[in-house]
């Protein structure tokens, strides 16, 4: 397959793009370049991040800056997302931190989702203010609220869609269109959706961020993150985060993530199908008070989900009548669902996310925001990350745990 060919479907591109038989051995599987150092010609000048416009085009010298295996992963991810460029990092949080610290400086203003991944929320609200960066958390599912907080010094709006853990959505196209009027950048954490479901850049976002640890790798055995966008934006981020923050993705991790992403499309189709079936079943269970899943007609943003998502994701959140009891059953009696944090594994995971605990540890809600959160989550939700097990086995286990 031609590396730059656009005439193949995304499913084929995930498997074949930027993968050619290796010269000499004719090996089909990509090779892994583990060397930290590369020989260079001093007559070509000493390599430095300073003065190099595009570090992705610089010669290989030191793996802290670039590596052939990592570069191959970045090319393949960019192809999947329809992005000009990609920077991978050691973790998803490193991608977020790298993006924020590359774009924002003292005196700038950042807007984030008021309900999002705990590490992102805590980094934005507890760490960035120490560097003179002002942060406002709003309900980004309500674009009017976002726009009401945009100031002259607002440099970036960062959203999650679907959000963690309430699975609320943000209309990427509508928000991007409005933010362009003020020159404010928009980044989208699309970890829950992956390129299979939503491609934020196609809707006008400036950046898309992934925790590669989750669905894209899909095997729960490696950490990684990615930032994707235009070449000019990524040059800026790479020159800072890619060189000076030290959160470089290793070649072995990049190789493992490439292995995982080659099955991304069939995996997502399988687990999304199971998730929709299970969410529909849960909605009619007598112990379940509410199911949060974008693919249900009962979801308050179902119409937006149909417009913005090709599938509805592998994450389900639901309220139960006694969250403490159900949590203990998942911990002590579950055999198919592992009780664990994280998402996107090939094996199904479950965890209780209690409202009071999230409030105390991360969000520190105002009374108004606590009431808004409780309107969706009640005392808390059970979050399921659906894996590749048979749907009937997952349902049978849920029937036992929810008895």
Residue 206 confidence (pLDDT)? 98
- The CATH number of residue 206's host domain is 3.40.640.10
Residue 30 confidence (pLDDT)? 87
Dig out the tokens for 68 from the structure. 């052939």
CA-based radius of gyration for the chain: 21
The answer on 386 and 335 residing in a single domain is yes
The answer on 305 and 175 residing in a single domain is no
Residues 6 or more apart whose CB falls under 8 angstroms from that of 300 comprise none
Residue 21 confidence (pLDDT)? 82
Give the H/E segment covering residue 81.
helix 68-81
10 Å Cβ neighbour count for 390? 11
Instruction: Tell which residue, 393, 394, 213, 386, has the closest CA to residue 314.
Output: 386
Dig out the tokens for 84 from the structure. 């000009």
Answer yes or no: is pLDDT of 6 > 80.
no
The answer on 112 and 28 residing in a single domain is yes
- Whether 129 is in a domain gets the answer yes
Instruction: Tell which residue, 140, 364, 172, has the closest CA to residue 148.
Output: 140
- Do residues 351 and 357 make contact, with C-beta atoms less than 8 angstroms apart? no
The rounded mean pLDDT for the chain is 94
3-state secondary structure 7-38: CCCHHHHHHHCCCCCCCCCCCCCCCCCCCCEC
- Mean pLDDT, to the nearest integer, of 134-138? 97
Of 261, 293, 328, which residue constitutes the final position of a domain? 261
Of 261, 284, 308, which residue constitutes the final position of a domain? 261
- The CATH number of residue 303's host domain is 3.90.1150.10
The answer on 275 and 257 residing in a single domain is no
Residue 55 confidence (pLDDT)? 74
CA 387 to chain centre: 17
Residue by residue, DSSP assigns 319-380 as EES-HHHHHHHHHHH-SSSEE-S----SS-EEEEEEHHHHIIIII---HHHHHHHHHHHTTE
The answer on 195 and 143 residing in a single domain is yes
Residue 50 confidence (pLDDT)? 54
Give the H/E segment covering residue 86.
strand 85-89
- Mean pLDDT, to the nearest integer, of 296-316? 98
- Whether 42 is in a domain gets the answer yes
State the Cα–Cα distance between residues 371 and 369, nearest whole angstrom: 5
Answer yes or no: is pLDDT of 163 > 80.
yes
Total number of domains constituting the chain = 2
State the Cα–Cα distance between residues 229 and 77, nearest whole angstrom: 11
Residue 341: domain span: 264-401
The answer on 249 and 291 residing in a single domain is no
Answer yes or no: is pLDDT of 61 > 70.
yes
Q: Quick: pLDDT tens for 186-226.
A: 999 999 999 999 999 999 999 999 999 999 999 999 999 99
The answer on 285 and 209 residing in a single domain is no
State the Cα–Cα distance between residues 378 and 370, nearest whole angstrom: 10
Residue 28 confidence (pLDDT)? 85
Q: Quick: pLDDT tens for 220-253.
A: 999 999 999 999 999 999 999 998 999 999 999 9
- Mean pLDDT, to the nearest integer, of 260-288? 98
pTM for the whole structure: 0.94
- Mean pLDDT, to the nearest integer, of 70-91? 97
Dig out the tokens for 55 from the structure. 């570090």
CA angle 194, 199, 202 (to 5 degrees): 170
The answer on 176 and 35 residing in a single domain is yes
Residue 98 confidence (pLDDT)? 98
Instruction: Tell which residue, 160, 88, 148, has the closest CA to residue 124.
Output: 160
Answer yes or no: is pLDDT of 161 > 50.
yes
Could you tell me whether strands 349-354 and 338-339 are parallel, antiparallel, or unpaired per DSSP bridges?
Answer: parallel
- Mean pLDDT, to the nearest integer, of 142-148? 98
Residue 276 confidence (pLDDT)? 98
- Whether 3 is in a domain gets the answer no
Of 236, 261, 286, which residue constitutes the final position of a domain? 261
Q: What are phi and psi of 199, to 5 degrees?
A: -115, 95
Dig out the tokens for 340 from the structure. 């664990």
Percentage of the chain exceeding pLDDT 90:
83
- Sign (positive/negative) of CA torsion 360, 363, 368, 372? negative
The answer on 277 and 329 residing in a single domain is yes
- Whether 5 is in a domain gets the answer no
- Do residues 12 and 1 make contact, with C-beta atoms less than 8 angstroms apart? yes
What separation in angstroms does the CA of 138 have from each of 125, 126, 157, 268, 301? 12, 16, 10, 30, 17
The answer on 284 and 211 residing in a single domain is no
Answer yes or no: is pLDDT of 8 > 70.
yes
Instruction: Tell which residue, 359, 333, 349, has the closest CA to residue 382.
Output: 349
Residue 2 confidence (pLDDT)? 45
- Whether 19 is in a domain gets the answer yes
Residue 22 confidence (pLDDT)? 80
- Whether 2 is in a domain gets the answer no
CA 359 to chain centre: 22
Residue 263 confidence (pLDDT)? 97
The answer on 377 and 333 residing in a single domain is yes
Q: Quick: pLDDT tens for 92-103.
A: 999 999 999 999
DSSP reduced 3-state for 197 = helix
Dig out the tokens for 358 from the structure. 């999230």
Residue 1 pLDDT class (50, 70, 90 cuts)? very low
The answer on 295 and 199 residing in a single domain is no
Residue 57 pLDDT class (50, 70, 90 cuts)? confident
Residue 52 confidence (pLDDT)? 59
State the Cα–Cα distance between residues 376 and 167, nearest whole angstrom: 10
Residue 192 confidence (pLDDT)? 98
Answer yes or no: is pLDDT of 358 > 70.
yes
CA 15 to chain centre: 20
């Amino acid at each position: 397959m031609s590396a730059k060919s656009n005439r193949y479907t995304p499913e084929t591109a995930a498997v074949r793009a930027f993968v050619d038989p290796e010269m000499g051995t004719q090996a089909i599987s990509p090779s892994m370049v583990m060397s930290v150092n590369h020989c260079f010609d001093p007559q070509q000048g000493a390599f430095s991040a300073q003065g190099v416009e595009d570090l992705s085009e610089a010669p290989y010298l030191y793996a802290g800056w670039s590596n052939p295996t990592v570069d191959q992963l970045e090319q393949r991810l960019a192809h999947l997302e329809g992005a000009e460029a990609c920077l991978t990092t050691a973790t998803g949080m490193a991608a977020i931190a790298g993006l924020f610290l590359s774009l924002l400086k003292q005196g700038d203003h950042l807007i984030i989702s008021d309900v999002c991944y705990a590490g992102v929320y805590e980094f934005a609200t507890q760490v960035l203010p120490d560097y003179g960066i002002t942060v406002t958390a709003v309900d980004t599912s309500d674009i009017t609220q976002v726009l009401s907080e945009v100031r002259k010094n607002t440099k970036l709006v960062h959203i999650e869609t679907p959000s963690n853990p309430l699975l609320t959505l943000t209309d990427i196209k509508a928000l991007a269109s409005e933010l362009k009027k003020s020159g404010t950048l928009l980044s989208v954490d699309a970890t829950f959706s992956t390129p299979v479901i939503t491609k934020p850049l196609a809707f006008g976002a400036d950046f898309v961020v992934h925790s590669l640890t989750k669905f894209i790798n899909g095997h729960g055995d490696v950490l990684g993150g990615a930032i994707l966008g235009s070449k000019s934006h990524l040059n800026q981020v790479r020159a800072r985060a890619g060189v000076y923050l030290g959160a470089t993705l290793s070649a072995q991790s990049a190789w493992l993530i490439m292995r995982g992403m080659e099955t991304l499309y069939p995996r997502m189709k399988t687990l999304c199908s199971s998730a929709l079936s299970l969410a529909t079943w849960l909605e009619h269970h007598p112990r379940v008070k509410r199911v949060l899943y974008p693919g249900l007609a009962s979801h308050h943003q179902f119409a937006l989900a149909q417009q913005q998502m090709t599938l509805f994701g592998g994450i389900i959140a639901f309220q139960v009548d006694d969250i403490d009891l159900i949590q203990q059953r998942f911990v002590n009696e579950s055999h198919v669902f592992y009780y664990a944090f994280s998402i996107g594994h090939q094996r199904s995971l479950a965890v209780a996310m209690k409202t009071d605990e999230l409030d105390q540890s991360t969000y520190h809600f105002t009374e108004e925001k606590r009431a808004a959160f409780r309107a969706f989550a009640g005392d808390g939700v059970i979050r399921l990350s659906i894996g590749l097990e048979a749907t009937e086995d997952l349902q049978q286990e849920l029937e036992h745990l929810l008895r």
